[in-house]
Amino acid sequence: MRRLLISLAFEGRVLVASRIEAHVSPFIRYDSNLNGGFPVSSLTVGGLTFQINPDDVRKKGALVGLDGQASFAMPLADGLALSGVGQVELGYAPQQRVDKTQLSGSLCVERMFNTATWLSSCLSGYKQVFDLGQDRGISGSLTLRQELLVGQSFHELTIGVSRKRELANGGSNQNIVSLGMISALRTGFALNTNFSFGDAVLGELVMRNRVGIGISGLIAGRPTSVFFHREESRGSLYLGQPRRDRTLTVQMIRSLPWRWSAEISYSLIRSSADVFDDNFLGFSVSRRF
């Protein structure tokens, strides 16, 4: 137990990093929107069809690149830890000759009240740069975690609140409440369930509710995770009518030999504005060094 507390930086020498990790992963994946483009090539309004500039229509294809990540944890006092993580992803689509870059990072202070209860406060940010523009934002969150032993099953309950600010397209703020539970089952599998609720943002299409469920464990001798998500977004207008999007996603991640891993996902979008109906197939293979 003490070794675990030291690795989490709840014990150890104050202001001396108890854990520093870094790795680089080359990847190749199929990307359904490399350039941040519009999902269709034409619009029909009032019986009239308008063609969209081909350069503004989304491009699909293979994206190859490198994903680098570094993290640390440092004790601030007994039961008080500082941790951080940063990630850079550099991708290039050779067929379409476009770049795609993603940056993200977070800094957290965690307070352990006892070995079963702790509180995390985090600041995080991200930036994504693609051919037709960029997306960026910051957020602050507060999360309470409680571990429970019920019978022979171990559970971790979480409740969190966060405030997210989108910095692109004029900027907007949204408050989000999240609930979650991870259960370690007697069968050797872990069950993950989570719920999120976001408030309305005037004039912006934002997540209003999301539910997810996943299971992880050894399948055919390899660590495998399967997830299902359902999300509903509301808030903007299209041709004067309120827009509502529902997204269903199925995702599977599997560990492969020699530190390789593979991920496949499928998302289906159904919108009150037919032009935004869509589906995405994702596939990636990466290796961790």
Contact 105, 85 (CB under 8 A): yes
Determine if the pTM surpasses 0.85: yes
Asked whether the predicted pLDDT for residue 162 surpasses 60, the reply is yes
Enumerate domains of the chain plus CATH numbers: 2-287 (2.40.160)
- Give the pLDDT mean for 2-17: 69
Percent residues over pLDDT 70 in the chain = 96
Q: What are phi and psi of 70, to 5 degrees?
A: -135, 145
Identify the burial level of 248 via C-beta atoms within 10 angstroms of its C-beta, where 0-12 means exposed, 13-18 middle and 19 or more buried: middle
Predicted local confidence at residue 152, as pLDDT: 75
Give residue 7's pLDDT band: very low, low, confident or very high (50, 70, 90). Answer: low
Q: Which residues contact 75 (CB under 8 A, 6 or more apart)?
A: 9, 10, 11, 12, 13, 14, 15, 16, 18, 81, 82
Asked whether the predicted pLDDT for residue 45 surpasses 90, the reply is no
Asked whether the predicted pLDDT for residue 47 surpasses 80, the reply is no
Residue-wise pLDDT tens digits, 123-160: 999 999 999 889 999 999 999 999 998 877 889 999 99
C-beta neighbour count of 107 within 10 angstroms: 14
| SS3 labels along the chain | CHHHHHHCCCCCCCCCCCEEEEEEEEEEEEECCCCCCECCCEEEECCEEEECCHHHECCCEEEEEEEEEEEEEEEEECCEEEEEEEEEEEEEECCCCEEEEEEEEEEEEEEEEECCEEEEEEEEEEEEEECCEEEEEEEEEEEEEEEEEECCEEEEEEEEEEEEEECCCCCEEEEEEEEEEEEECCCCCEEEEEEEEECCCCCCCEEEEEEEEEEEEEECCEEEEEEEEEEEEEEEEECCEEEEEEEEEEEEEEECHHHEEEEEEEEEEEECCHHHCEEEEEEEEEECC
Give residue 233's pLDDT band: very low, low, confident or very high (50, 70, 90). Answer: very high
Give residue 1's pLDDT band: very low, low, confident or very high (50, 70, 90). Answer: low
Token pair listed for 47: 């019986």
Residue-wise pLDDT tens digits, 126-135: 999 999 889 9
Predicted local confidence at residue 40, as pLDDT: 78
C-beta neighbour count of 274 within 10 angstroms: 10
Give 164 or 170, the one with higher predicted confidence.
164
Contact 137, 160 (CB under 8 A): no
Predicted local confidence at residue 38, as pLDDT: 82
Q: What are phi and psi of 248, to 5 degrees?
A: -115, 130
Asked whether the predicted pLDDT for residue 272 surpasses 70, the reply is yes
Give residue 17's pLDDT band: very low, low, confident or very high (50, 70, 90). Answer: confident
Predicted local confidence at residue 179, as pLDDT: 98
Give residue 6's pLDDT band: very low, low, confident or very high (50, 70, 90). Answer: low
Predicted local confidence at residue 67, as pLDDT: 96
Contact 206, 235 (CB under 8 A): yes
Give 167 or 228, the one with higher predicted confidence.
228
